[in-house]
Structure formats: structure tokens, C-alpha cells
Chains A and B, each alone.
Chain A
Amino acid sequence: MRINNKYGEGLLNVSGASLRKEEIVSKPVVSLDHVVIRFAGDSGDGMQLTGDRFTMDTASLGNDISTLPNFPAEIRAPQGTVPGVSSFQLHFADHHIQTPGDAPDILVAMNPAALKANIKDMARGATIIVDKDEFTERNIVKAGYQVNPLEDNSLESYKVHAVALTSLTVAALAQISMSRKDAERSKNMFALGLLAWMYHRPTEATENFLKAKFGKKPEILAANLLAYQTGWNYGETTEDFAVSYEIAPAHMPAGKYRNISGNTALAYGLVAASQLSKLKLFLGSYPITPATDILHELSKHKKFGVITFQAEDEIAAVGSALGASYGGSLGVTSTSGPGVALKSEMIGLAVMLELPLIIIDVQRGGPSTGLPTKTEQSDLLQVMYGRNGESPAVVLAPSTPTDCFKMALEATRIATQYRVPVFILSDGYIANGSQPWKIPAISELPDLQVKFAQTQEDFLPYLRDPETLARPWAIPGTKGIEHRIGGLEKADRTGAISYDSQNHDYMVRMRAAKVAGIDVPDLEVDDPTGDAQTLLLGWGSTFGPIASAIETLRANGEKVAQAHIRYLNPFPKNLADVLKKYPTVLVPEMNLGQLSNMLRSQYMKDVTGYNKVFGVPFTTLEIIEATMAVLYV
């Protein structure tokens, strides 16, 4: 039977196989409600691409999804070693899910190092697919094994499929004139094809993706398609895989969806904010993991008039953004923790100038260079207090990848209305993780239009709006309001340099009062029975594991309330009451207790911290255990 009818006549003939999914009748099909898959391989093996493709094919089936890429800081760490392992985890289900999953049900390990690096996360009974061709003596030693783990019974408690991924791929590609090395590069597509068969994923989107990606390189395209199809056929025809699985679509609110990562959602949110505010978007940025994708994404959107400026350093990145903001643009800078440290003085200037500025901090493990590709929430106190003088700034924290879009709009609203620097605290987990996003209608989005100061007699650049306490946004080019601003203390109303002690005290308090008075929504508390005694209070990317833990806890009859703080400065007005209501407040954070510190100092509430800095998100189980510990002390 000819299988490759879409991309060329008779490329390959394999008897008894077909790509048409409606013909899949030959093996039993098992229904599952959710699956967690982890693809793992060398950082050059294309695991992120493989994971991305499986995600897209899964999303289009209507499953709910949550993803977690995990890669080393080195672009190509030594091949075949544990530090060089890159992985991509995907959780998909027929119901709403909150996390990428604690333990994978399936691990695809492209080499011994990938097995070694990931086996500790696998629950007993899980399925492991390995490329047995890669389990050579040399590779086994490189990965740090004494003996071949496929032969020493150490994997007895798992379902292991040792597939000759490399040689099957090479054999299938024999008819294409390419080197063995080049042919081997398509083995990730073999794995993807096999998984696509196993979980009944549609193949058209990936085939179209490959055509678009390699359209100009016909041999590479043919190799990838062939490897993909061969992988699919392998599942269908060999006895190694007895069953395949189906996961029904999740019940999600009606609408149009796409999959989106936190970094992309931030970028889209900023483009939307620029359109809604009618302000030119100016991004000043210096490449830094894990924030760089925001620069990449926004640099694609010139037709929206977006200016992206790759500056010479972090300071110039924020400086140029502030300069653009002074000129009436929406000035944004994107970075990670070390970049925020460098930008601090300029952000202080923005506080003094009282100009809008958005600073995106995609947090990573610290201090110093720390763990560039791993996630952490340890910049909260830095963005709150990491500047000289009394230097208040607004701090927002999106809770999920899709929430990043909303928070970009909120950051714009607050920055432009109150003329103040606003931090968006994302982190590596939500920046790179993705989930389905119900695409909003433009008509549902807020009006963010701004007012600039107009030509007037006796203009006072530091005369405040009585409601917002903001000074005018007075941009160059406006006749008659020429004025000078700067980092020296300003006299109230006139903005002239002032060393007057009373004025300084007044202005310091005024800047603090302006930020404290910013209008932010109340904290929503989820407490279905209304009589829970314990509150799980999180911020940022811990939302998923906390929500997931709460579901399980409640299903087991535990009474626990949940609230998630998205506005960290100023805090929601009702936070004090919420803290009072619950005798026990558990605050899980991927740091050593930074929000806990803020809550204790501002509200005199002795919250209980659950703190861990492992560079990976909390698992649901960890949150459940931490909650049980406070419920049954």
C-alpha cells in the first residue's frame, strides 16, 4: 500500500500500513482521561520541536493542555551527557487541567543520558520508550551508568519499549540520498510519528508544518516526512505496541482557541495595549534567558509600528524605553533578574520623572547568573525594594501563560494612567510553558486611550491629578509647555530643582501615596463552603499546582480556600480582611519566603511559608503534602 500519497508518488511502500486515522481498526483502543508525556534527548535532538508539534496536534483535538519545557543553559552541552539533556513535558486531558503534571506516564528517552536524567521522575508502571541504538557501551558510560540499564533489570517496574529508533529511521531514509548522519537527525520525527499513532493525533498539521519549514530543502522535507510516517507505521504494524489510546476533548467554554506560551502572550498583550492606547510600542531590550523570546516575538510585528531596539546593555535597554516613553510612546523593557539589577538606577529615574514604563522580569534561578534556564520566584523583593531611596514601583504577577496577555494590558493601564514604572513578574515556567487560550474578541478588550498635556499658559509639570495623583504626561512637540525634568528632587507643582526639606518629605510621601492608591481589583477567594480555616495563598506561576492540589484536597473532603495575588504592589484592598478571616494561611513560593515577608511586615500576619527552589515548578503532590501538614498539625 502506498502511504505517502500527499507528498510524492511512491516514496515508500510499506505493506499493511496507512496514515488514514479512520482506518485505525487493527489494534485495541483504550480510553484515558489524561496523559503526561515527556520527550527527552540531547539538546541537539530536537526535543523542544518534537514537544511543540505534539502539543499543537493535541490542542487541535480539543484536549486541555499544559506544557513544561526544560533545557540546559548550554546551547550544546557535551553530547550524550546528563547535563546536556533537554526535555519537554506535556500534560493533556479530557478535562480542565492546571499543571504539566507531576510524573510522566510516558518517557521518550532518545539516549542513556536522557533516561538517566529523567528516570527519577517516573512512577512505577509508567511506559518508557528508548532508542536502543543509542545504548552503546560508550554512551552508557558517558551517561554515568555502570551497566546497560536495559539489561540489568533495573527498569523492571516500568513498561519498557526498546525501539531501534535510529536504525529504523536510517533504513527508511535509505532511498533518499543523504549521509547517515543527516538521516539520523530525523529520528525525533520517527518518535513523534510513533506517539502520534499511539494517541491518535492527527498528522496533517505536523505534515503541513514540516512542509512550511523545509519547503525549500526537498531532501530534508522528504526525510522528515518519511521518518514521521515510518514512526507512525511502526506503532501500527509491529507487535511491540499492542494498544493505542484515546483522550476525548475537554469541556471548555465555546470559542476559538490557540495554544500560547507566557512570553508570546506578553508580546501579544503589548501589541494589543499599543493598539488600544494608540501609543507607539517601543521595546528596548538586551537578550537574556528566559526573556529573549519577547524581543524575538515583538521584532516580528513591525506592521503594527512596533519598534524593537536591541540595546548595547540592560541599562541602555531600559534607558531607551524611558526616553521613548518621555516622547509619548509605550516604553517597555524585557529582562530577567540580573538585568533588573542593572536597570535599577534607571527605574529610580522613572520613579522620579513620573513617566510610564513597563519592566518585564521573567524570573530565573538566582543569585548572580544562577540557573538561567530554570524557574524561580526570587525577584519579588528585588523589584519591590531594589532601588536607592524611597522608590515605589507597581508590581504585577501573571498567574498562568494566558494571564500574561491580561497583565500586559493591566500594566499599560496602570503605567499610563498613573505615570509610574510597572513591573510584570513572569518566570521561566509560565514564559515557556503553554496552555490553550480562548482568543478574546477585540470588543471585549479595555479602552486604554491616554491624555497628553495640551498647550497652556503657565504649565506646571508636577501639578497632580487630584484623583490619580499623577502628574501630566507632557511630551516634547507640544507648544508652550517646554519644561525641564530630571533625577534631582522636584518642587511640588513646578518641577523645579528643590533641596527644600519639607518639599522632599512631601514629594516622597506623594510618590508613595500615588502607588498605594492605584486602583486594583479585589482579591478573589475561592472557598466553596465558606467555612474553610486554611487558605492557600500564592502568586505568579504557582497558580497551576496550587489549583490542582486544591481540586484533589477537596475531592478528598478537605476544606481549603484558595486565593492568588496578581497585584503585589499595591496589594488588593481586601487582602487585610482575607488574611484576618483565615487562621492558617499557607504561602507556597519558589523562593525562601519573600511574599511571606511582605505579608508579615505589612499585615502582621504570621503566615506559613512553603518554600522550595529546585528550579522547577511545584508538583501537585508537594502542595498537597504541604497543605496536609498544616491541616493536621
Chain B
Amino acid sequence: MSDISLTKKDFTSDQEVKWCPGCGDYSILSTVQSFLPELGIPRENIVFISGIGCSSRFPYYLETFGMHSIHGRAPAIASGLAISRPDLAVFVITGDGDALSIGGNHLIHALRRNVELKILLFNNRIYGLTKGQYSPTSETGKITKSTPTGSLDTPFNPISLALGAEASFVARSIDSDRKHLTEILRAASVHKGSALIEIYQNCPIFNDGAFDLLKDGGTKGAALLQLRHGEVIKSDSHGLIREDGSFKLVELTSVAESELIVHDAHNPDPAYAFALSRISGSALDHVPVGIFRDVERPSYGSMVNSQIAEVIANQGVGDLDSLLNSGDTWEVN
């Protein structure tokens, strides 16, 4: 693979990109196109599979194999592909409606099985393609066309959901932070098994500014709690300490640095990552970003294929004639 020297341009298809001006999807696309050459994988061995929604147009703009499938089902289709073709690198592109509403079942089962899929969940907390209804990640009380007096639903926390689904790699990043997103993509790509990356993504038309707190120079320093394995968990103003068996957010000025929690992404106990995921609510005043959990667990496709290899090693390759002639047979002369 070392002779492959591809550039961002090699991963850019000839299709005109048709997202709304200012959409967060543009910067995610650009980051992914810039990152892909780094993988060292030939273009023909990379497949992007998406569902339905604004983000799901993504595969059309990448010069790899790609499928824009149906609403919510990308993880199911991608599972069949990844299991049967372990030689491929398979990515799933999905949104908060696609992955968490109509396709919730497929997402949790892909994660639980640990299928070799890198799932990029673009979370803009709104339905964009259908022109502005609340989504399963919209904050309660959201005023939209379908909820003129405010939405009643409690939102999903995608990180908590993924951890509850036994995900082995769970991370969060932000559309506009290319450097951070690239770091996460890099870590996800070497992870064996499923990786879920929630990407906060701005919808300039139906939910503009939803993540401004995390992007504005004046507020982001205090709002973003950086998760880096082996480093203390803190923002510019706050840090995390342990108190009463749980985590507590405190002002940095009130504690010594040595009291802050040092992040352990490889902690086998999912309760640790889950507790981290609960620090942020809909308000986004303190939001952990980075890798919540990155643990090793056998990946599904490798187990499927090693079961087959084991049977063949023990019994030999199947012979059709013997199969058809197996069981109780009799001759008619």
C-alpha cells in the first residue's frame, strides 16, 4: 500500500455538491476527503453507505464506492457488505433522524455486534431534508413546524445510547474543527470493530447556531471539555473531579490540578464513559468532546470468518456431492 500516494483531489467526485450554503456538511466532507489519503487504502476498497437525509448525500461526493440507500437502513446494508467482504473499509454516513429515529434498531445492533463499520453520525438536532421538524436529539420544548407549541419528547444522548448498545469506540467532534475531527477519524480507523462518531453539525436553515456556544471564540474555551487519553479532563475554566461515586464539574480555580480526573478511554467499565456522556445536557454549556471509549473487543466479521475457517480446518472444504447424498438414502434399480 505504500506506493499509493493519493490526495484530497483523488477522493473528490465529479458531482456538484448540493447542500445549502453554510451547511456544516461542507466542512465535514472536506475533512473526510483530506483524511482519506492518509488511510493508505486504495479508493476501490473504500465504501461509503448512507441512509436518507441531508447528510446521506455524502457518498455522491466521494470518489470511492458508495451507496445512498434508504432511510435508517445503512448500518444493515453495510453490515452485510462488511461481513462478507472483510477486505473493504466500510463507512456509514447518517444523521440524527436516520440513525436514531427510523434506523435506531440497526444502529444499536451494529454497535452491539461490533461490525467493522465506521459510523459518522451528523447531529444537527433537526430534520433538514423534510424542512424543519424536531428530531430525536432536539431539546425538549423545541418549536418547529410539527411542534408549534413545543416538542414534548426527551431527547436521546447519542453517546449514552451508543455506550448502552455496547459500542467499543464512541467519540464526539464538531463539524468546524477539522483538526479535532481528523484526530478522531484517525483513531477510529485503527479501531477494530464499530466506531461511532457523533459530529455536531450546524444546519444554517432550520436550526442555525445550535452549536455556537461550542464554536464561538468567547465561549468555546469554557464549554468544551477535552477528552484525551492520559490527560486530565478539563476546559479552560472547568475540570472534572470524583465526588460521591460520581463525576462533578468544578471550577479549575477551586481545585488542584492533581485532583482532576485523568481520562482513561480504555477503561473496560462502560459506566465510566457513560458518566462522562451525562455531563452535557441539551444546554451545551459543558460538553465533552473527543474519544469517550475505545476498548478492544473481537469484531463481528472477523469472528464470522474465523468460525468458517475453523470448520473448514476441522472438516475440510464442503463437497456438494457428499452434501446432496447425505442422510438416509436408498437405491432404486
Contacts and interface: CB of A to CB of B under 8 A. Distances in A.
A432 B323 CA distance: 20
B230 to A, nearest CB: 36
A329 B52 CA distance: 25
Contact of A326 (B73, B81, B311, B325): B81
Interface string B56-84: 00011011111111100101111111111
Contact of A496 (B15, B45, B69): B15
Interface in B281-324: 304, 307-308, 311-312, 315-318, 320-321, 323-324
B49 to A, nearest CB: 7
Given A271-B320, A329-B84, A487 B79 contact: no
A302 interface: yes
B15 A256 contact: no
Interface in B226-269: none
Interface string A53-73: 000100111100000000000
B87 interface: yes
A268 interface: yes
A313 B105 contact: yes
Nearest to B74: A319
A469 B65 CA distance: 23
Contacts of B88: 327, 476-477
B109 interface: yes
A544 interface: no
B85 interface: yes
Contact of A484 (B60, B311, B329, B333): B60
B221 interface: no
A305 B308 contact: yes
B185 interface: no
A17 B328 CA distance: 28
B43 interface: yes
Nearest to A486: B68
Contacts of B188: none
Contact of A482 (B65, B70, B73, B81): B65
Contacts of A311: 76, 79, 109
Contacts of B44: 476-482
Interface stretch (A142-150, A177-185, A247-255, A288-296): A247-255
A320 interface: yes
Given A257-B331, A312-B106, A324-B81, 18 more contacts: A252-B332, A256-B331, A256-B332, A257-B330, A303-B315, A304-B318, A319-B106, A320-B77, A324-B83, A324-B85, A329-B84, A476-B44, A477-B45, A477-B85, A484-B65, A484-B66, A486-B59, A486-B68
A85 interface: no
Contacts of B70: 345-346, 348-349, 487
A307 B308 contact: yes
Nearest to A208: B328
B243 to A, nearest CB: 39
Given A331-B80, A439-B325, A484-B68, A62 B332 contact: yes
Nearest to B63: A482
Contacts of B312: 302-303, 305
Nearest to B58: A484
B329 A303 contact: no
A554 B197 CA distance: 71
A456 to B, nearest CB: 12
A254 B85 CA distance: 43
B67 A486 contact: yes
Contacts of B77: 319-320, 322-323, 326
B105 A60 contact: no
B325 A258 contact: yes
Contacts of B204: none
A319 B324 contact: no
B42 A479 contact: yes
Nearest to B109: A312
A433 interface: no
B327 interface: yes
B146 interface: no
Contacts of A316: 73, 75-76, 79, 105-106, 109
A271 B327 CA distance: 16
A282 interface: yes
A301 interface: yes
A440 interface: yes
B47 A56 contact: no
B37 to A, nearest CB: 14
Contacts of B82: 323
B62 to A, nearest CB: 8
A315 interface: yes
A420 interface: no
B13 interface: yes
A476 B66 CA distance: 9
Nearest to A275: B320
A484 B109 contact: no
A351 to B, nearest CB: 12
A315 B73 CA distance: 8
A348 B308 CA distance: 32
Contacts of A346: 70, 73
A126 interface: no
26 contacts: A56-B328, A61-B330, A249-B332, A254-B333, A257-B332, A258-B330, A301-B323, A303-B316, A304-B320, A304-B323, A306-B308, A307-B84, A307-B308, A309-B79, A316-B106, A319-B106, A323-B79, A324-B80, A328-B85, A349-B69, A439-B325, A477-B85, A478-B44, A482-B64, A484-B60, A484-B67
